[in-house]
Amino acid sequence: MPENSSKPELLRRMVEHISVLYPNVELEALAKELISAMGLEVTAEPPRPHRNLWDQADCLLITYGNSIVKPDEKPLTTLKRFIDDYLQGAVNSVHILPFFPYSSDDGFSVMDYLMVNPALGDWEDITAIADNYKLMSDVVINHMSARSRWFDNFKKRLDPGKDYFFEAHPDDDLSEVVRPRNSPLLTEVETADGSRYVWCTFSADQVDLNFKNPAVLAEFVNIIRHYLSRGVKIFRMDAVAFLWKEVGTPSIHLQETHEIIKLLRTLVEHHSPDAVIITETNVPNRENLTYFGNANEAHIIYNFSLPPLLLYTLLSGDCRHLKTWMMSMPPAQAGTAYLNFIASHDGIGLRPLDGLVDDEHREELVKAIRKFGGKVTYRKSREGVDKAYEINIALYDALKGTMEGGADHWQSQRFICAHLIMMALEGVPAFYIHSLIATENDYAKLENTGHNRSINRHVWQEQALYDALADKDRHHQIIFEQLGDSLRLRCQQPAFHPNATQFTLHLGTGVFAFWRQSIQREQSIFCLSNVTRSEQLINLADINLIGTDQWTDLLSGETLADLEGQLKLSPYQTVWLSNLLVSDTLAG
Segment 149-178 mean pLDDT:
97
Q: Is residue 262 part of a domain?
A: yes
585 pLDDT exceeds 50? no
Same domain, 525 and 457: no
Residues taking part in catalysis: 238
- What global pTM score does this model have? 0.96
Residues 426 and 518 in one domain: no
Say whether both 372 and 504 belong to one domain.
no
Q: Tell me the pLDDT tens digit for each residue of 268-308.
A: 999 999 999 999 999 999 999 999 999 999 999 999 999 99
| Length of the chain as a residue count | 588
Of 435, 461, 491, the residue at which a domain comes to its end is 491
Same domain assignment for residues 522 and 570: yes
Contacts for 575 with CB less than 8 Å, ≥ 6 apart = 526, 527, 528, 553, 555, 556, 567, 569
Residues 69 and 108 in one domain: yes
Residues 556 and 429 occupy one common structural domain:
no
pLDDT of residue 587 exceeding 80, the answer is no
Could you read off the pLDDT of 455-481 as tens digits, one per residue?
Answer: 999 999 999 999 999 999 999 999 999
Of 468, 491, 514, the residue at which a domain comes to its end is 491
Domain that holds residue 557: 496-587
Asked if 412 and 345 sit in the same domain, the reply is yes
Domain final position from 491, 513, 540:
491
pLDDT tier for residue 582 given thresholds of 50, 70 and 90: low
Which pLDDT score is estimated for 3? 53
476 is in an annotated binding site: no
| 179 annotated among ligand-binding-site residues | no
Average pLDDT on 34-48 reads 96
Residues 527, 434, single domain; the answer is no
Does residue 273 share a domain with residue 391? yes
Is residue 124 in a domain? yes
Task: Say yes or no: 527 and 458 in one domain.
Answer: no
105 is in an annotated binding site: yes
Is 169 annotated as ligand-binding?
Answer: no
Chain segment 531-567, per-residue pLDDT in tens:
999 999 999 999 989 888 899 999 999 999 888 889 9
Q: 66 CB contacts (<8 Å, ≥6 apart)? A: 75, 79, 119, 120, 459
Q: In percent, how much of the chain has pLDDT > 70?
A: 97
Task: Determine if residue 236 is labeled as part of a ligand binding site.
Answer: yes
Tell me what pLDDT residue 182 has.
86
Instruction: Report cis status (omega within 30 of 0) of the bond before 160.
Output: yes
Per-residue model confidence (pLDDT) at position 150: 98
Both 480 and 503 in a single domain? no
Residues 426 and 529 in one domain: no
Q: How far apart are CA 335 and CA 259, in angstroms?
A: 19
Q: For residue 250, is pLDDT > 70?
A: yes
Instruction: For residue 299, say whether it is annotated as part of any ligand binding site.
Output: no
Q: What is the CATH number of the domain that holds 544?
A: 2.60.40.1180
Type of residue at 405: G
- Rg of the chain on CA atoms, in Å: 24
pLDDT of residue 380: 67
